[in-house]
Amino acid sequence: MSFQSSVVKFNNLTFGKIVQKGGLQSFFSKIYLPKNAYFLEIGCKDGYALPIINQYFAPQKMIGVDIDTDSLKIAQNRISKEQIKNTEVKPADAQQLPFDSEIFDAIFMFATLHHIPDWKKALNEVSRTLKSGGYFIFREPLAKFYNLPFSKYFDKPAALFDKEDLEEALKLNNFKITYFNWRGIYKRFFHSSVEVVCQKNV
């Protein structure tokens, strides 16, 4: 896989956000995507990742969707404040995306899939709306993560799945994994979260 490097400026971020931003940059450095492409982020929440994706990959057009309209208001304010002219946000259910088939070059999802009750249906929608040869890029905690004290209380997952469940669902939706990595502070001995790049088979 080709590699790409980029420098993204830090703009008045808390330490935690700087760590997250650095983590995304490290993850994105493992990925090559075409310029002037059409991107979607599912579960964009307050829009935090949208400018990072934009600065790193320079898509022609990007859409962020979320089911929480209050979060989308914050995302829209962020887009306006940072003057990101190629990006828009809209409400949408990941289990039934309001887009035509095979229109996106890349789809991003960060810690969202486990909040979707029918997560397999969401993966089916990702595959449906992604072009052949397009990329699905995501980070996700696995069921094992929720063995940690209070994790279910604070995160409130709607679905639990392990690595094998995820791999099987991706395969059934015509994806091949091109990059896989365990992530998190305890990744060497506690495999509870993953970052993955998949390509839709042509």
Task: Please give, one letter per residue, the 3-state secondary structure of 53-116.
Answer: HHHHHCCCEEEEEECCHHHHHHHHHHHHHCCCCCEEEEECECCECCCCCCCEEEEEEECCHHHC
Q: Report how far residue 42's alpha carbon sits from residue 107's, in angstroms, rounded to the nearest whole number.
A: 7
- In whole angstroms, give the CA distance from residue 17 to residue 37: 27
Cα distances (angstroms) measured from residue 4 to each of 25, 31, 90, 194: 10, 7, 29, 21
Q: Please give the pLDDT value at position 154.
A: 82
Region at 132 (left for phi over 0; alpha for psi -120 to 50; beta for the rest):
beta
Residue 186 confidence (pLDDT):
62
Separation of CA 190 from chain center: 22
Give pLDDT, residue 22.
56
pTM for the structure as a whole? 0.86
| Alpha-carbon distances of 11 from 4, 21, 73, 111, 194, rounded to whole Å | 22, 11, 20, 23, 27
pLDDT at 28: 87
Class level of CATH domain 15-200? alpha beta
Helix (H) or strand (E) holding 129: helix 119-129
- pLDDT for position 10: 32
Domain boundaries, the chain: 15-200
Q: How big is the CA angle at 95 (ends 167 and 195), to the nearest 5 degrees?
A: 35
Q: Which residues of the chain have pLDDT under 70?
A: 1-22, 184-189
Cβ neighbours around 178 below 10 Å, total: 15
Those residues with Cβ within 8 angstroms of residue 1's Cβ, 6 or more apart along the chain or in another chain = 30, 31, 32, 178, 179, 197
Which amino acid does the sequence have at 116? Answer: I
What pLDDT does residue 183 have?
Answer: 80
C-alpha dihedral, 19 to 56 to 138 to 33, nearest 10°: -150
First-residue to last-residue Cα distance in the chain: 17
